[in-house]
């Protein structure tokens, strides 16, 4: 179940990043005067086609890169891919995407995220419920843990005292969250 929640969160993040990268789309597809398609429909279609093309390239690169792949994202309309080897950097750039060399691959980050979630499960109920999100940040090679602002100091202190083993030495950072305390799925 934990794996499915993480996969769902990853897909959601990629989907949101993809939609954000597309920019605002004109949803006015008909001219008020004659009912014919407006200029917005071709722009929307073009943006959708570009997004589809970019996502297919990401899928292809992820498969080809194997254990060298860390994360892909769209920034300013361009696909960026974090990878762990010089050979992978060359392959990404050859495909027309921007490459970023990083230390940890996707599977190392997923294991580290699981290690952090397992540690958080051992916290007392109040601190555990304040841990609201977990994210493997492939482009920066770290795990980001979102903790409600009222408990962040206590959770960070507990982490420093426990010194849990986090896969392959992946750094863990804690970020403040706000709003109603609601625990992360885990």
Q: Say what the pLDDT of residue 46 is.
A: 82
d(CA 111, CA 99): 23
- pLDDT value at position 4? 38
Write down the pLDDT at residue 40: 53
Residue 20's pLDDT is: 38
Tens digits of pLDDT across the chain (186 residues): 343 343 344 433 444 343 333 333 333 334 344 444 445 566 766 878 888 899 999 999 999 999 999 999 999 989 999 999 999 999 999 999 999 999 999 999 999 999 999 999 999 988 889 999 999 999 999 999 999 999 999 999 999 999 998 988 999 999 999 877 776 765
Domain boundaries, the chain: 2-102, 107-177
Inter-helix orientation angle 106-121/152-162, to 10°: 100
Does domain 107-177 fall into CATH 3.30.70?
no
Instruction: Compute CA distances 58 → 25, 50, 73, 140, whole Å.
Output: 22, 12, 9, 18
* Backbone φ, ψ for residue 29 (5° rounding): -105, 0
Q: Where are the alpha helices (DSSP H) in the chain?
A: 2-22, 39-65, 86-94, 106-121, 125-130, 152-162
């Amino acid at each position: 179940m934990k794996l499915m929640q993480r996969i769902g969160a990853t897909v959601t993040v990629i989907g949101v990043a993809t939609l954000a990268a597309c920019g605002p789309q004109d949803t006015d597809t008909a001219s008020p005067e004659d009912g014919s398609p407006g200029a917005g429909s071709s722009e929307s279609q073009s943006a959708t086609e570009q997004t589809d093309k970019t996502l297919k390239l990401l899928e292809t690169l992820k498969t080809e890169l194997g254990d060298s792949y860390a994360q892909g994202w769209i920034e300013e309309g361009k696909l960026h891919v974090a990878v762990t080897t010089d050979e992978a950097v060359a392959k990404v750039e050859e495909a027309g995407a921007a490459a970023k060399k990083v230390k940890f691959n996707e599977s190392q980050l997923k294991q580290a995220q699981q290690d952090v979630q397992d540690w958080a499960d051992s916290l007392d109920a109040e601190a555990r419920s304040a841990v609201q999100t977990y994210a493997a940040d492939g482009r920066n090679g770290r795990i980001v843990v979102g903790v409600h602002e009222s408990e962040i100091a206590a959770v960070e202190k507990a982490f420093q005292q426990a010194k849990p083993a986090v896969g392959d030495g992946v750094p863990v950072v804690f970020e403040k969250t706000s709003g109603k305390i609601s625990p992360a799925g885990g």
